[in-house]
Amino acid sequence: MTQIRLSRRHMLATTAAGTAMLAMPGLSRAASRPVITHGLQTGDVAHDGAVVWARADRDAKMMVEWATTESFSNATQVPGLVLTEATDHAGKMVLSGLPADQDIFYRVKMVDLADANGISEPAVGQFRTAPASSRDVSFVWSGDTAGQGWGIDEDRGGMLTYQTMLNHRPDFFIHSGDTIYADGPVQAEKEMPNGETWRNVTIEQKAKVAETLDEFRKQWLYNMMDTHVRAFNAQVPMLAQWDDHETTNNWYPQEMLVSDDRYAVKSAALLSARAARAFHEMTPIRPSLSEPYRVYRKVAYGPHLDIFFLDMRTYRGANSANDQAEAGPETAFLGRDQLDWLKRELAQSRATWKVIAADMPIGLLVRDGDTDFENMANGDGPVRGREFDIAEILSFIKHGGIRNTVWLTADVHYTAAHHYSPDRAQFQDFEPFWEFVSGPLHAGTFGPNALDNTFGPEVRYVKAPEEGQVNLPPSDGLQFFGKVDIKGDTGVMTVSLLDRDDNVLWSTDLEPARG
């Protein structure tokens, strides 16, 4: 696939705009022009549109124009969007009416609301709209950014996995959750297992767990202080979903954090409400018309690909031993509305491949304490607890004749390829399928986790720390992402697992079933 890419001149202009305030600390606000503080982002790209995100340093009007050439000849100006303290001066605009399968260059300026002559330096980004007809498609996915206290250490290169992914020039990026670590303070220094010192860039709002809306917002802005993240965001659309660390580890809606002394706010419901607002303000997710702050959705990307984003966090019941013999409110994991939506959308999809983007793996044990479980897996045996939701989906896919489903996920901080088959399973009413796991992007490395045989998973590949090693720093190189390539002429999907240093660790070609 041939793509035009932003010139070095444009990229330098974008970077300069994003760091101007740091370079001029003595310049007063009154004497300065507005500044685009944290670069640009795009997301939820479609064949005719996308979402553009930016943030100003003050009350301003966000002005966006787009063109199909880097020179911005015959550019289209979009009506401006007013940014105020109500959204921490961040804003996103939905561009529409774009041509399909086209490189789109966009330019953002901020106009000071108190001074119409105060106009920021422009920032420039690029993305490609989804195709209306068959062509080669390439995308990357991973999860887990700035976790376990491993923040931005500029002496060690910063968040290098983002640069590695950018070098592949993907059409888009799926961030599979744990986009931030709101419960993971970043201190100035952190001791490494080898005795060296990791030195973080720090901000006040990352020095403690996030509780206020401002503290939640600043988690994303912290990540965007990294040079590689800003460069990646300016050129690769992000399709984001969330998991637990956007709020706090292993949370469920009715949880009370009674034993966590770090929190003055004890209600997970209150924390997650603030977290959800910040997530939607600080990521380029397309707004939902039916449910404020909804994360689950379908993104269509041409004839060969539909992506179904799940929310395995918002609608769940309490974490428990997860061993209930019958389905009920306490076994909820996806929730009835989301389950019905997923079945309906899968049945209506005419795409060759149906990618289910899940923020947690299906068949790996993820515990919450000594007796409870965090995800749906609960140990070997028949379907119980939260596994009822997964069994319902898998059975529906089989009996609906829905072909070519692939699950992509992250969460567990290592990379793996799992093949599921009823021949190995306790529950057998489903067709074989693949689940691919990747991450972390920039966080501690752990694993591997034990398997649950309910749906018959088999590990075909795994790369994780050696036994006894936990929370390895990003500098150890065990940072992972996955890459998917779909051929436009044949529909063959190639899934590859890669590391931060761009080594292809494992790869497989999947032939689409026809009919």
pLDDT of residue 514: 84
What φ, ψ does residue 11 adopt, rounded to 5°?
-65, -40
Q: Count of CB atoms within 10 A of residue 406's CB?
A: 17
Top-tier CATH class for 137-510: alpha beta
Interval 1-20: pLDDT, tens: 444 455 544 554 444 444 44
Q: Are 225 and 38 in contact (CB under 8 A)?
A: yes
Question: Residues 332, 335, 340, 342: is their CA dihedral positive or negative?
Answer: negative
Look up residue 99 and give its DSSP letter: P
Q: Are 296 and 338 in contact (CB under 8 A)?
A: yes
**2-16, 113-127, 273-287, 373-387: the lowest-pLDDT one:** 2-16
Token pair, residue 454, equals 């309910």
| Residue 99 preceded by cis peptide, ω within 30 | no
pLDDT of residue 428: 98
DSSP assignment of 126-173 equals EEEPPPSS---EEEEEE--BS-TT----GGGTSSHHHHHHHHT--SEE
Q: List Cα–Cα distances, 465 to 227, 361, 484, in angstroms.
A: 28, 18, 24
Interval 191-240: pLDDT, tens: 999 999 999 999 999 999 999 999 999 999 999 999 999 999 999 999 99
pLDDT of residue 1: 44
Mean pLDDT value of segment 100-123: 97
Question: Residues 112, 117, 118, 120: is their CA dihedral positive or negative?
Answer: positive
Interval 238-257: pLDDT, tens: 999 999 999 999 999 999 99
Token pair, residue 210, equals 């996030």
pLDDT of residue 5: 54
pLDDT of residue 22: 43
Quick one: residue 443, left, alpha or beta (phi over 0 = left, psi -120 to 50 = alpha)? beta
Domain ranges of the chain: 8-128, 137-510
Distance CA 478, CA 383 (A): 34
Interval 139-159: pLDDT, tens: 999 999 999 999 999 999 999
Tell me how many degrees the CA angle 215-219-222 measures, rounded to the nearest 5.
120
% of the chain exceeding 70 in pLDDT = 94
pLDDT of residue 31: 57
Residue at token pair 């290098």: 160
What φ, ψ does residue 483 adopt, rounded to 5°?
-130, 135
Mean pLDDT value of segment 439-458: 97
pLDDT of residue 2: 41
Q: Is pLDDT above 80 for 481?
A: yes
Amino acid at position 16, single letter: A
Give the confidence band of 164 by pLDDT, cuts at 50, 70, 90: very high
What φ, ψ does residue 182 adopt, rounded to 5°?
-65, -20
Classify each residue of 115-125 as buried b or exposed e, where b means 16 or more C-beta atoms within 10 Å of its C-beta.
Answer: eeebbbbbbbb
Q: List Cα–Cα distances, 147 to 171, 223, 267, 405, 443, in angstroms.
A: 26, 11, 22, 30, 4
Mean pLDDT value of segment 82-106: 98
pTM, 2 dp = 0.94
pLDDT of residue 32: 87
pLDDT of residue 289: 87
Q: How far is CA 188 from the centre of its chain?
A: 26
Q: What is the CATH number of domain 8-128?
A: 2.60.40.380
Token pair, residue 332, equals 């909820």
Look up residue 476 and give its DSSP letter: G
pLDDT of residue 29: 54
Q: Is pLDDT above 50 for 378?
A: yes
Distance CA 432, CA 503 (A): 28
pLDDT of residue 340: 98
Nearest to 129 by CA among 296, 273, 301, 278: 301
What is the β-pairing status of strands 433-437 and 405-409? Answer: parallel
Q: Is pLDDT above 80 for 371?
A: yes
Mean pLDDT value of segment 161-176: 98
pLDDT of residue 43: 98
For the chain, state the CA radius of gyration: 22
